[in-house]
Each structure stands twice: as C-alpha cells, then as structure tokens.
Amino acid sequence: MQRRTFLKGGLLGAAVAAVPLDTLLATGASAATETRVTNLKDLQSAIDRAVAGDRIVVAAGTYSVPSGGAIAVSGRNGTSSAPITIVSESRGGAVLQGQRTFVLSNSSNIVISGFAVRQSTSLEIPANSPRVRLTRNDFRFADIGGLDWVVVRGDDAKIDRNHFHDKTTEGIFVVVDGPGTTAMAQRLHLLRNHFSDHGYTGANGGEPIRLGVSTRALSSAHAIVEYNLFERCDGDPEAVSVKSSDNTIRYNTIRDSRGGIVLRHGNRTTVDGNHIVDGIDGVRVYGNDHLVVNNYLSGLSGRALVIGSGSTRDHHEGETTEERRGNDACDRAVITHNTLRGNKSTLSGETRDHAPQDVVVADNLLVGDSGSLVAMGATTGFTWQGNILWGAAADGNLPAAGYVRVDPRLRQGTDGVFRLAADSPAIGAATLTGGTVAEDLDGHARGSARDVGADEYTPLAPVRRPLTTADVGPNAS
C-alpha cells in the first residue's frame, strides 16, 4: 500500500500540526511517499525505487534474511531535509535476523529506525555512505567471539536512542574507523544510547565504544559522544576507548561497570560533565592537549583518575606498529573542576619511562578515606593550584601550595550526587584563569566567581542529572 501526502497552500500550518514530529523529521514537510511492506521481497523492491523523502514502513513480525542474502541499500540518496527512512511499524516490532540484515553502499541520508536487529555479522556504515542514521533500534547480535556489532566508516553518521545489550564474548558494540588505514570517519554523533550487560571476562577487546585504533590515533575524528548510559559494561577496562584526535565525550553516565573513559591514543579531546559511579575505573588520560572538566567520579573500586605516563613521549608519523601501540605520555592536559569522592584510588600516576609533563591540575575537589588522595609517579612541569582535599586519606605527593585541606560540606541529592552546601568554602574559591568553563556538571552557568569541583552552588534544580534508562534507548525523547 502506498500513501502520498502533499502539504501546500493555506492548509500548510494545519497539515504540519497534524503530522507527528517523528514523521516530519524523517521525511521533510513538503512531500512524502509512504509504503507499507509485509515481506522481505516487497521491502527490497521499495528500497530499490526509493527517492528522497520516501518512508518505508515494515510491519511487525520476524523476518529471516536467507544465508548469503541481505537487505541491500545501494545507490539510494535522500537529502538532509528529506532522508529515505526505513522504519519498523512499531519500535522493536519488526525483528530482522540472519547472517546479514541491512547492507549499505553508495548511499546517503538514510534513516534506519525501530528494528530489533539479530544478525551474526557486523553492520557497517561504509565510507561511501555518508549521513546514515541508526535510531531507536534494539541491537542484540549473535554472541560470537570477535564480532564487532556496528562499524562506522562513513562521515556524518548519527547513532542515537538505540539499545546495545547482552554480549559475553570478545567484540565491540560500536567501532568507529574510516577509509584506508589512517583516516577517521568524520563528525560521528553518538547520543542517548543505552549500552548494557557486556560480560566478556578477557583482558581487553570488549569496549562498548571504540573511537579509532592505534594506526588512526593522529587523525582527527571530531566525534561527539554524549548523553549515553552504560550499565554493567564489564567487557573491557575502557567503556569509551578513544584512539583518535579532536573528540568530545560529554554528559554520559557510566554506572556499575568495569570500564571508564580512556583517552588511550590521540590528542585534543574534551571529557566534560560525565558521571562515573559505583564501578571500577574512571578516567585515564594519555596524549596531548586534552581538557578534563566537570566530571563526577564516585564509588570506584579501581583508579578514579589517572594522568598517564608513556612508553614514548609523543606518537608521530613513521612509527612502527609496536611503537604506535605503546602509551603516549600525557602532556599539556588541563584537569579542572572535577569532583572525585569516595574512590579507592583518587588521583594517581604511572611509572613508564616518559613522565607526564606540563599538566595543569586546578580547582578539583578530592575527597576520600583510604590511601592517598594524590599518588603520582614522576612528573615534569606540573601546575597544581586551587584544589580542595578532604577525608581520612593522606594528602599524597602534591605540593603544599597546590591545595587546601578543608571540609567542602557536601550534601547528597535525591539523585545520589554530592553537591556543595550553601556554606561550602569551595564557593567562589576557584583560581584558574585564562580558560572558559561556562557551565558546571549540572548545566548551571559558572559565572565569574567559580566554585571548586564539578558543582557550582545554586538553589536551582539541576538541568542535567545522572542518566537513567528513561533518558536513553528506543523510547527516549
């Protein structure tokens, strides 16, 4: 069945009001062709003739793609305002299973939405297919060791409001690579996804997200990873593994997980406003010129924040494969306005040959009751200033001029986050100048007299809180 709708003339306003927002976003408001299909043959026929603005609706049911077959999206091109949309009639109602499901090539502005995907090979967004969006899908692939689920090589991909879950073997939920061996896919936007229940017990290779790989470390990706929830992600010490440059990791929540946020390779990435709570590892930083700001790290049984040393000073072109795999010492990072509370190891370093150097550690709040709050290895040219330390833990090996020991008077909110009380000595006590930190962890304006730690005191309710399952996944707003 096909239904063609035209919106024109004086009826435009009323017609737009009558069309659901998801439909307008998916098809554009000028014209839409909608085709409903109930079998794979008709689905393929509808895709093969689809043009910009078309919407293909797949009825609820289970669709088994024959071995060696695929749902091919080849040579199909929508536009940014009128993509070609392939959507399940109800979220999760159309179940796609088989060795392969969607196989894209030479296509652009394609939206795939609302499916339960149960395939046994990788789903790839190839380099020749830019501006592909995967939204509101439920991904649970075959539990095969070494299988990476979604692999992104095309530019301007958007992966949002999906659920990736239930894997016990080696393999990664979302891998971002690029064309060739050194380039990165550009401007990926990963938001409001739910990553849960990766139980692989190996040493590594089970990340929810990996942005790049060692050979691509010096290439800029400009990816934004934001508002994602990670729960019980135990397949790797790295929940978000960054192996490329110029990325932004912000406003995510990692809860009850082995993995943290690790800037493993690459330069100039921002880690901003993330909650990492009640798991094992927090944030580890290698490479150059990163910004780590406004993060809340609490209840971690491993290392909360690591300023890494290196087996090399800086990665560079012409390295051997083995050299590139090594750690690049952390240089010129700015680590400011973070709150680290109640962790086994609060702020620590390492002992490789090349010490981190020229790092600024300023206006952070470190609270703990065990070990030392700061346990750095060798460092060179560090700037320590404006930090507040508190708790039964020893101060550790930072210079006396770099901190004060005073009770920050934290109060726990209904969301579990400890924030400043109205009489906290951290209010207005920040010292760092020359940079702009416009907002705090909660999304409140910092103003000119900034507070120490991730929270800027205000009686207003937070704009951003730790994410819950209601905030992410196929049914998120």
Please spell the DSSP secondary structure of 396-408, one letter per residue: ESS-GGGEEE---
Q: How does the average pLDDT of the chain come out, rounded?
A: 93
Contact (CB, 8 A) for 179 and 154? no
**DSSP letters for 231-272:** EEE-SSSEEEEEESBS-EEES-EEES-S-EEEEEE-S--EEE
What gap in Å lies between CA 173 and CA 154, rounded to an integer? 17
- 119 has a pLDDT exceeding 80: yes
- Domains in the chain (CATH in brackets) are 122-471 (2.160.20.10)
Q: What pLDDT band is residue 31 in, cutting at 50, 70 and 90?
A: low
Q: What pLDDT band is residue 19 in, cutting at 50, 70 and 90?
A: very low
Containing H/E element for 325?
helix 321-325
Q: Give the residue-averaged pLDDT of 251-273.
A: 98
What gap in Å lies between CA 456 and CA 384, rounded to an integer? 20
Choose among 51, 7, 14: nearest CA to 31.
7
What the block records as the tokens of 71 is 């749902």
What gap in Å lies between CA 363 and CA 372, rounded to an integer? 18
- 21 has a pLDDT exceeding 60: no
Say what the pTM is: 0.92
The model's pLDDT over 76-96, given as tens digits with 9 standing for 90+, comes to: 999 999 999 999 999 999 999
Choose among 244, 241, 246: nearest CA to 230.
241
Query: What's residue 192's pLDDT?
Result: 98
- 365 has a pLDDT exceeding 90: yes
What gap in Å lies between CA 10 and CA 125, rounded to an integer? 41
What gap in Å lies between CA 241 and CA 225, rounded to an integer? 11
- 384 has a pLDDT exceeding 80: yes
Q: What pLDDT band is residue 218 in, cutting at 50, 70 and 90?
A: very high
